[in-house]
Chains A and B, each alone.
Chain A
């Protein structure tokens, strides 16, 4: 009844299945953990999809810092376990658990997308693994969900745009329109902007939202034109930021109703935006042409190693490695001494390419918010929009 041909097929299927099982097996991973003294760093970042460039920048800069220390942090060699989170929140818990439970990483570094970050924060809180966030700005991670083992070297959404209101008022824009995507980050940005702008005396005359990640702006640009505010404040990033700035200019609005936003509007997008972005003011905790010696050295080194200019994401990744180094040095490389590490990492001052910044009680950077203006293909530093801006960390029990 059994054809030899079919038997072979089933056997070869089993072979393939077995092979796949081995490929996915923990055997390799656990051998390495048992026998090496290397520190396992889990990098959970987007390496495919819209945010791939950010994941790459963060990874590059992290490794750059380590290389600058001679390949070791506190005398320990590092071993990277790299995982592509695809910016997919549905897989976030599975992915983070994989790094913590299967690959047994000593420290979890990631990620970019806030929805994914929620999953990572959950796993971090439950497992107690040291976690460093190199980008995602969701307020919750250093707010209601803050924890001793979770640190952030980037920003909160609120923090990147809070100073913008003051800047706009100083430039005489007493009324403004707001436009952004309707999703968690967009709403947090609006909260930060509105608080700062209204406190400085400004009035938001038009609030416009479009579904995420829709990039057909024409209808709402027409609405802005009809509302005639003094200026427009917005939040967009990536491909959407490129299109928005170009569309805003092409609709003739840029000349009549100046455009403002936080730095994500013009970071990594200037080559694509071209002339449309020229002269736009933004606030962010980083800028090109900063007169900070550490930055000059960093930019030189990064460009030499990776043949491209670093951006704010790279700086955040670089600082993540710095933070880890400081913690490790304080416990002489013993990552298991979590409490002592955390104590050392709290209240630390990081000598970052963005300038010196202090770690807040909620484990978020207290940093200067710079005012930048687009000149050529750079976000040129114009001045400090807000010195030592600290996210209020509402809901964090540690703050």
Chain B
């Protein structure tokens, strides 16, 4: 492979990986800190994309629509946690799986009722709507670079939040021992509600950011869901650092897999996960 092409492929892999990280970060947060397996995570991503579609139409400016979308997503997350999710903390993981599976069906149909079944697109914000030529035939979309930068910023933001702030400390305490943290005076109920809302918003934000380069269509959450789980598991549940590394690994594996091993390209991600888990049964940074 030509060295320039190789570098471009690395760039492709990294960019894809960073977007995966953004989607999976919400999942690892909810799963790692609250212990809830949430199959509806793909639906949150889809809701984000559809919100981006509607809000950009109404408001006109993409970034304003994004801000509004994040706020709406947080409110939806709080509502969902209060209505349904808070009854799952004490339950066996499998009931969480079943309930959130039911939620997928509900969200798909609600989406169909509210937005219909057509395929939609979102305009790339005009300021970023151009491409930088990399070779004589290939250019790179600046929006993708911007998106990658945002994903990185969020990665650092999350790390800083969880490791360096008081709130983060409470979150970490709550995830290790819920009752103990509560008896120390932390309002666990409120904390969990916030974390869940944050997880919801992160997934929705990923959907919103991806909407201009992707498309908005029924069932778009399904693929994202399974990949997110793979990222979380490879990285280690609850580890944001792990999710970032795993996402980058998958991004690169998927990219190079398509190019070098097209016959087994579909399996590459799963081969990677199987290999990692057989080497490190708890994921790369998973807690024992």
Interface of A is mostly: helix
Q: Which residues of B contact A38 (CB under 8 A)?
A: none
B12 on the A face (CB < 8 A): yes
From B137, which residue of chain A is reached at the shortest CB distance? Answer: A225
**Is A251 within 8 A of B219, CB to CB?**
no
Given contacts A48-B108, A52-B112, A210-B258, contact A253 B266 (CB under 8 A): no
In the complex, B107 has a CB within 8 A of chain A: no
Question: B137: which A residues are within 8 A, CB to CB?
Answer: 225-226, 228, 252-253, 256-257
Interface string of B123-143 (1 = CB under 8 A from A): 100000001010111111101
Q: Are A211 and B266 in contact (CB under 8 A)?
A: yes
Closest to B6 in A: A222
B107-163 residues with Cβ-Cβ distance < 8 A to A are: 108-109, 112, 116-121, 123, 131, 133, 135-141, 143-144
- On whether the beta carbons of B133 and A252 are closer than 8 Å, the reply is yes
Q: Chain A residues with Cβ under 8 A from B131's Cβ?
A: 250-252
- Interface residue? A94 (CB, 8 A): no
Question: Is the CB–CB distance between B139 and A239 below 8 Å?
Answer: no
Q: Is A344 an interface residue (CB 8 A)?
A: no
B217 CB-CB contact with A under 8 Å: yes
| Contact indicator A251/B139 (Cβ below 8 Å) | yes
CB neighbors of A among B84-127 (8 A) = 108-109, 112, 116-121, 123
Is there contact, CB below 8 Å, between B219 and A50? yes
A251 to B132, CA, bound (A): 9
Cβ-based interface call for A53 (8 A): yes
- Interface residue? B54 (CB, 8 A): no
Contacts of A223 in B (CB 8 A): 5, 259
Is the Cβ of A243 less than 8 Å from the Cβ of B214? yes
B265 engages A210 (CB within 8 Å): yes
Docked pose: A54 CA to B2 CA in angstroms? 43
Nearest neighbor of A212 in chain B, beta-carbon distance: B266
Chain A's closest residue to B220 (CB) is: A239
Residue of A nearest to B264 (CB): A211
Determine, out of A271-279, A289-297, A332-340, the stretch whose residues face the partner at the interface. A271-279
B140 neighbours in A (Cβ, 8 Å): 251
Answer yes or no: A56 CB below 8 A from chain B CBs.
yes
Cα(A253)–Cα(B134), bound, Å: 12
Measured between beta carbons, the chain B residues less than 8 angstroms from A247 are 213
CB-based contact A52/B117 at 8 Å = yes
Judge whether B183 is part of the interface by a CB distance below 8 angstroms.
Answer: no
Minimal beta-carbon separation of A113 from chain B (angstroms): 13
From A219, A242, A250, give the contact of B256 (CB < 8 A). Answer: A219
B220 adjacent to A222 (CB under 8 Å): no
Contacts A50-B217, A216-B254, A242-B217 hold; do A272 and B266 have CB atoms under 8 A apart?
no
Q: Quick one: which of B143, B218, B266 contacts A52, CB cutoff 8 A?
A: B218
A222–B120 touching, CB < 8 Å:
no
Q: Residues of A contacting B258 with CB < 8 Å?
A: 210-211, 214, 216, 219-220
CA of A226 to CA of B266, assembled, Å: 23
A246 at interface, CB cutoff 8 A: yes
Instruction: Tell me the residues in window 189-244 of chain B with beta carbons closer than 8 Å to chain A beta carbons.
Output: 213-220, 223
- A221 beta carbon closer than 8 Å to chain B: yes
Q: Which residues of A lie under 8 Å from residue B15 when comparing CB positions?
A: 218
Determine whether the beta carbon of A272 is less than 8 Å from that of B215: yes
Query: Cβ of B56 < 8 Å from any Cβ of A?
Result: no
Complex contacts, A28 vs chain B, CB 8 Å: none
A268 interfacial by beta-carbon distance below 8 Å = yes
Q: In the complex the two chains form, is A216's CB within 8 Å of B255's CB? A: yes
Q: A223-B259, A271-B121 are in contact. Are A246 and B135 (CB under 8 A)?
A: no
Among A214, A252, A274, the residue within 8 A (CB) of B266 is A214
Q: Is A169 an interface residue (CB 8 A)?
A: no
Q: Kindly list chain A residues whose C-beta atoms are within 8 Å of the C-beta of B259.
A: 219-220, 222-223
User: Is A238 in contact with chain B by the CB < 8 A criterion?
Assistant: yes
Question: Which residue among A48, A242, A250, A271 has the maximum number of chain B CB atoms within 10 Å of its CB?
Answer: A250
* Closest beta carbon of chain B to A311's beta carbon, Å: 10
Q: Which residues of B contact A215 (CB under 8 A)?
A: 214, 223
B262 at the interface (CB under 8 A from A): yes
Give the residues from 17 to 52 in chain B that come closer than 8 angstroms, CB to CB, to chain A.
none
Give the interface centre of A50, A219, A257 by most chain B CB atoms within 10 Å. Answer: A219
A269 within 8 A of B: yes
CA A56 to CA B116, docked complex, whole Å = 11
Q: Is the CB of A210 within 8 A of B218?
A: no
> Which chain A residue lies CB-closest to B12?
A218
CB–CB B213/A250 < 8 A: yes
Residues of B within 8 A of A395 (CB): none
Decide if B5 touches A274 in the complex (CB within 8 Å).
Answer: no
Are B218 and A48 in contact, CB atoms less than 8 angstroms apart? yes
Q: 12 A-B Cβ contacts within 8 A?
A: A211-B266, A214-B265, A216-B254, A219-B254, A219-B259, A223-B5, A225-B137, A226-B137, A250-B131, A250-B213, A272-B215, A273-B121
Contacts beyond the supplied A242-B217, A271-B121: 5 A-B pairs with Cβ under 8 Å: A48-B108, A210-B265, A222-B138, A223-B259, A246-B213
Residues of A at the B interface (CB closer than 8 Å) are 48-50, 52-53, 56, 182, 208-216, 218-223, 225-226, 228, 238-239, 242-243, 246-247, 250-253, 256-257, 268-269, 271-274
